[in-house]
Amino acid sequence: MGLFQRFRRVLSAQLNHLLSKAEQPEKMLNQLVLDMNRQLMEVKKSVAAAIADEKRLERQLITYIEQANEWERKAILAVREQRDDLAKEALLRKQEIEGLILQQKNLLVSQHEAVEKLKLSLRDLQKKVEEAQRRKNILIARAKRAETAKRMQETMGAISDTSSFEAFERMAAKVDQIEAEVEALSELETSFSDSRLENQFRQLEQSSQQDTADKLLADLKRKLLEEKS
């Protein structure tokens, strides 16, 4: 079970490293799932090695059984040939191997139990990694929505700042002042234009009156001359 504890320790260390770097959520989640799959592959290799050890113990047990059977066959042969001395030697060798068989069976039982526990843990770990893979996309989508909402709140906060509205009102007042000044200049220009026009007409009227006065004076002088004559 040590390999699964090592799996958790490695992932915990990697998670702390990513959090300390304050990565973007999407990048961090992708990296975490990648690390989970990488560690999962290492665990699978360890479980496969444990299964291989079990197979090796099984093969060794079969070899011991075959050897015990062979020494029994030799003992029987020796008895038939009336070689009790060889038969006894063969039976002792068989007994020795049977001791190894018992030890091997105990080892095999322990290894088989360990392998079965490892397989169950591996299946559970596989499910968790697959679940993390599925949840990753959901979490990334949620993180993006949260980031968008955060930017909107920051924008709204900037817009609702009273200093911004005050600056806007000052600019609006300035524009009103400029328009008023332009309008006043326009009125002044029109007034000056009207004054010049009135002066010109006044001059025309004065010139006309002068002509009339000159004519009246000439008529009077002519009349006086005629009376003298």
Domain stop point among 132, 160, 188: 160
Residue-wise pLDDT for 25-72, tens only, equals 778 778 888 888 888 898 889 899 999 999 999 999 999 999 999 999
Record the pTM: 0.52
Compute how many other C-beta atoms are within 10 angstroms of the C-beta atom of residue 104: 19
**Alpha carbons 24 and 29: distance in angstroms, whole number:** 9
Same domain, 152 and 170: no
Domain stop point among 104, 129, 160: 160
Residue 179 has pLDDT above 70, yes or no: yes
Helix 84-159 crosses helix 2-20 at what angle (to 10 degrees)? 20
What pLDDT is stored for residue 91 in this prediction? 94
pLDDT band (50, 70, 90) for residue 22: very low
Same domain, 180 and 156: no
Same domain, 23 and 115: yes
Count each helix (H run) and each strand (E run) in the chain, helices first: 4, 0
User: Out of 23-32, 57-66, 77-86, 87-96, which region has the weakest mean confidence (pLDDT)?
Assistant: 23-32
Q: Which residues 6+ apart lie within 8 Å of 67 measured at CB?
A: 97
Same domain, 141 and 208: no
Number of domains in the chain: 2
Same domain, 119 and 45: yes
- What domain range includes position 225? 165-229
What pLDDT is stored for residue 1 in this prediction? 47
Same domain, 117 and 194: no
Same domain, 196 and 153: no
Radius of gyration for the alpha carbons in the chain, expressed in angstroms and rounded:
57
Which one-letter amino acid corresponds to residue 193? S
When comparing pLDDT for 99 and 211, which is higher? 99
Q: For the chain, what is the mean pLDDT? A: 79
Domain stop point among 123, 140, 160: 160
Same domain, 151 and 170: no
Same domain, 45 and 88: yes
Secondary structure (DSSP) of 122-133: HHHHHHHHHHHH
- The total number of residues shown for the chain amounts to 229
